[in-house]
Amino acid sequence: MEQLSALDAAFIYLESPRTPMHIGGVYLIDGATAGPDFGYRTVRDHVESRLAIARTFRQRLIEVPLSMGHPYWIEDPDFDLDLHMPHVGVPRPGGKSELMRLAADLFARPLSRQRPLWEMVFVDGLDDYPGLSPGSFALIARVHHAAVDGVSGAEIMGALLDPEPRARRLTPPDDWHPERVPSGIELVARSYGRIGAKSVDLARILAKTLTGAGSLVSRTLEESLERPPMPMTAPRTILNSRVGPHRSFGGVEFPLDRIRRIRDLVPGTTVNDVLLAVCAGALREWLGARDELPDQPLIAMVPMSVRARDEETAMGNRVTALLVELATQIADPHERLLRIHRSAAGAKGYGRALPANELMELVPSETAALASRLYLRMRGSDRHRPFFNLVITNVPGPPVPIYLAGARVHGHVGTAPLFDGLGLILVIFSLAGQISIGITSCREVMSDVAEMETLLERSLAALEAEPATDPESLRAGIEADQVERRPALERTTLSQLHEATDRLEEALERLEQPSGEST
């Protein structure tokens, strides 16, 4: 039995019938590469043979009564694979719109908490999907965000996928054993066992926070990093409305080489900067067409993995949140790209310095659960400026072709959860030299994602054109502007932070001494 972290539990508390909290996507499988016997039974048996690789497959959620502690994962004593793998046919003519509507309907439904929080729907009948052979297939996968983040979710799918048509022979020891479902009293007693450790945790986390902040001040002064926007400073837009119960879903795909050429066209930028700029250009045009483009830049929350190498297959979320200005007030696409690059570089410095995940552990579970429910019921997102305008998450996939039970995976279009105040999320995924941008919204915000698909393509084309102004001249102007409007950081702040850190470290040493040696 393993307790969820505060960040993982937050996805449980935020879930409602309107806002299911799962991530996933649509895996496209080319029928021309599948054997004559390939079908639902082939994939179902293949998944069964890989269950031992990832714990998520057979662990279910157990909630503590009255939220007197964060929930737990236990090995499900009633696990039944067939409940997690439905088989459906896509409506005729079996094209992209029919598949994406089916996926949108599935993504709108919360997963059952009475069994492990994942599902893979096998879809056949894709006879008219662009780029696929007639008679192709899809796998619509979803798993609760409390169990995985984007990186570990990709690792779980990696357990099912192979780098060549011949499936790997895996013989991990399947020593899985179901667990007894604990009583409510047992769960409450177990959850409150760590209360005495909170003071030590608080001292350690604050010391780490101040040390990171001190280091960050030094870097900011020396490297002129741009400070990221603060939460709740984003402009209000129609993207930040109350989320409805129905989803709209789709996406676009293009070669990664197109992104790399833009990166080389504007030296100093990164692939991720370019992808953010592609999204920003599409958003600028989409809002402008509705006379809703704000004077202030849109702010994107960009998750950044802090997962260590030895945590790649661990359950749960190991991420921090970066806030990046998308420069949507800038008309020139290349100047917009450079401003995004500068904002993203500063955000990464701040994101690495501050242990937001650990600070969340200090919030009592009852408070977190109650606050989440009240926020949803009282429409809290309508009462303040948005924390950010949208989420853009970039999940790196394998750079080589991958196969499912011998059939090649042609592409993947990702999804992630919405909640009140967040009506649009863009999921970027790379696979074998191709990039996809998955679009998830609700009908109340973006009833038809086809327009956004077109605008993403148009934004990419605009960035591929030769810059109207030399990038170095643009960069010099942006840096001069930043120096002029950036408040000076007082060096005395750094000395104060170091002094506070020293005192906290001394207190931490005293707290961690054995009781007989305590001063």
Q: How far is CA 29 from CA 154, 161, 256, 263, 297, in A?
A: 17, 12, 20, 31, 39
123: tokens are 């879809």
Peptide bond between residue 93 and the one before it cis (omega within 30 degrees of 0):
yes
Q: Tell me, yes or no, if the two domains 2-193 and 228-309+326-394+410-489 fold the same way.
A: yes
Summarised one tens digit per residue, pLDDT across range 266-318 is 999 999 999 999 999 999 999 999 999 999 999 999 987 544 444 444 444 45
- Runs of H (alpha helix) within 266-332: 271-288
pLDDT for 3:
87
pLDDT for 492:
42
pLDDT for 307:
44
3-state secondary structure (DSSP) of residue 404: strand
pLDDT for 247:
97
Instruction: Give residue limits of the domains in the chain.
Output: 2-193, 228-309+326-394+410-489
Cβ neighbors of 231 (< 8 A, separation 6 or more) are: 323, 387, 388
145 is catalytic: yes
Residue ranges of the chain whose pLDDT lies below 70: 149-155, 170-173, 188, 191-226, 305-319, 349-384, 482-519
Pick the CATH number of 228-309+326-394+410-489 from 3.30.559, 3.30.1490, 2.40.128, 3.30.460: 3.30.559
Please tell us whether the domain made up of 2-193 is placed in CATH 3.40.50.300.
no
Q: Using alpha carbons, select from 139, 169, 86 the residue that is nearest to residue 404.
A: 139
Catalytic residue among 144, 145, 341, 412: 145
